[in-house]
Amino acid sequence: MLNDAGANPFQALLRQLLDGTSAGVTVLDTELRYRYVNPTLARMNGLPPAAHLGRSISEVVPGVDAREDVLRQVMADGIPREVVSSGHTRADSDRERRYWHGAYHRLEDGGQVTGLVGILLEITDAREQQHRLEQAQARLAVLNHAATVIGTTLDMDTTCAELAAFLVPGLADLATVEVIPADPGAQRRPPPHGVLRLRRAAMHAVPELAEPARLFGLPGDYVDYQPGSAIPRCLETGQPIVQNRLTDEDLSHSAPTPERVAAYRAAGIHSAVLLPLSARGEPVGTLTVIRAGDSPAFTDEDVVAAQDLAGRAAISLDNASRYTREHHIALELQRALLSAPSCRIRCWTSSAICRPAPAPWSAATGSTACRCRRTGRCW
């Protein structure tokens, strides 16, 4: 055929045309052995053209799923077909997986089937772009759904619980949300110098981890993290910390105390992602997502999804924190006003102080009387 030394001028012209095309072209015999490959396909496969001849597809590129079943159907019924094959050839590549789109037609000579001709184009770039687009669309759908279930109230603990519940089991086997308390020493003695104290606001786990997770602390507990451990480093840098397939040494650096390592191992914890929660440039707390048992390690896509959710949730948490703080201030001011012993109540406003106005003269007492209601307003 095209590789024959005695090819006629037409075949030589055809070969010149095929050798110069940017598509990979091959001719296969009825046993799917190579009879011709052009230079483009030879470069794709990482072998010179002569190394292909007489060998089957599986011998030349054993790492490629060439869909030989489809090729045999074309050989059997003569219906042209297109197929996407994937894998790795002998050519060097930094891609995780390569993809080719092939079109195959049956060859006949005098009514006798002689083989197939295939035309292949590498579509790895297009597939990766499509994959990234699909991932972006999936993340957008997740964020849109998260917006409807996270931050439904202005209560900080409720918002944290909604975030943790949303992440399990879709992204994690266990999720905890810890926030920076307004007053770290309010519930107990202040933390030692250099120790970071956070309040665990929420925790959610798959059923098989629910009981072991209770050993790590419950919502409402205060957790002290030693200097240099993972959580303080996450807050200091403002960057996520990914810990896949944790060793005992890794766990000792991540745990708030060394005693926790054995408990983590007993629960089957092997991977974690720690993410800072920050809004308006200020830290709010941390989100930790954990995988255990047979769950796979976290991928780059998992980390990006967790970051997106953490960023969205941090804004809701900051709004809840601001509301809670201002609500407490309003309550304290109200208590102070209601407990004032004198009718000369200072009504603080943005521009003035209201003082009691003189009341009409009383004939019964011979004096004026201040009629002040316990509303903070004098009349």
pLDDT tens-place values along the chain, 379 residues long: 555 545 567 677 777 777 878 899 999 999 999 999 999 999 999 999 999 999 999 999 999 999 999 999 999 999 999 999 999 999 999 898 999 999 999 999 998 999 999 999 999 999 999 988 898 888 889 889 998 999 898 888 999 999 999 999 999 999 999 999 876 545 567 888 889 999 999 999 999 999 888 888 889 999 888 888 899 999 999 999 999 998 888 777 767 667 778 888 889 999 999 999 998 888 999 999 999 999 999 999 899 999 999 998 898 888 888 887 888 888 888 888 887 665 444 444 444 444 444 544 444 444 444 444 444 444 3
Q: In what order do the strands lie in the sheet with 112-122?
A: 34-37, 24-28, 112-122, 98-109, 81-87, 64-65
Rounded-to-integer distance, Cα 273 and Cα 295, Å: 14
333 assigned to some structural domain: no
- Rounded to 5°, the CA angle 331-332-336 comes to 115
Range of the structural domain that residue 27 is part of: 9-122
Give pLDDT, residue 340.
Answer: 64
CATH number at residue 268: 3.30.450.40
Task: State whether the Cα torsion 309-311-315-320 is positive or negative.
Answer: positive
Report the sign of the C-alpha dihedral through residues 43, 49, 50, 52, in that order.
Answer: positive
Domain assignment present for residue 3? The answer is no
**Residue 2, φ and ψ in degrees, nearest 5:** -70, -20
Residue 301 and residue 211 in one domain? yes
Contacts 24+ apart (CB under 8 A), 336-340: 337/376, 338/374
Is 2 part of a structural domain of the chain?
no
Three-state SS string over the chain comes to: CCCCCCCCHHHHHHHHHHHHCCCEEEEECCCCEEEEECHHHHHHHCCCHHHCCCCEHHHHCCCEECCHHHHHHHHHHCCCEEEEEEECCCCCCCCCCEEEEEEEEEEEECCEEEEEEEEEEECHHHHHHHHHHHHHHHHHHHHHHHHHHCCCCCCHHHHHHHHHHHHCCCCCCEEEEEECCCCCCCCCCCCCCCCEEEEEEEEEECHHHHHHHHCCCCCCCEEEECCCCHHHHHHHHCCCEEECCCCHHHHHHHCCCCCHHHHHHHCCEEEEEEEEEEECCEEEEEEEEEEECCCCCCCHHHHHHHHHHHHHHHHHHHHHHHHHHHHHHHHHHHHHHHCCCCCCCCEECCCCEECCCCCCEECCCCEECCCECCCCCEC
CA–CA separation, 337 vs 329, rounded Å?
A: 12
Cα 179 to Cα 202: distance, rounded to the nearest angstrom: 9
Q: Are 378 and 357 in contact (CB under 8 A)?
A: yes
Indicate whether 332 belongs to any domain: no
pLDDT given at position 289: 97
Q: Is residue 29 part of a domain?
A: yes
The two three-digit tokens of residue 311, written as one number: 């960023």
Shared-domain flag, residues 138 and 284: yes
Spatial distance between the Cα atoms of 245 and 258, rounded to a whole number of angstroms: 18
Answer positive or negative: Cα dihedral of 213, 219, 224, 230: positive
Residue 120, Cα to own-chain centre: how many angstroms? 35
Domain boundary among 122, 147, 175: 122
- pTM for this predicted structure: 0.64
**What's the rounded Cα separation, in Å, for the pair 372 and 379?**
6
Same domain, 33 and 164: no
- CATH number at 112 reads 3.30.450.20
Answer yes or no: do 354 and 234 share one domain: no
Q: Is residue 158 part of a domain?
A: yes
Q: Are residues 139 and 241 in the same domain?
A: yes
pLDDT at site 37? 94
Task: Provide the domain count of the chain.
Answer: 3
- The single-letter code of the amino acid at 376 is G
Q: Which residue, 66, 97, 122, sits at the end of a domain?
A: 122
Residue 136: φ, ψ to 5°: -65, -40
| 14 within 8 A of 99, measured Cβ to Cβ | no
- Domain boundary (122, 152, 179) is at 122
The verdict on 179 and 303 lying in the same domain is: yes
Residue 200 belongs to some domain of the structure = yes
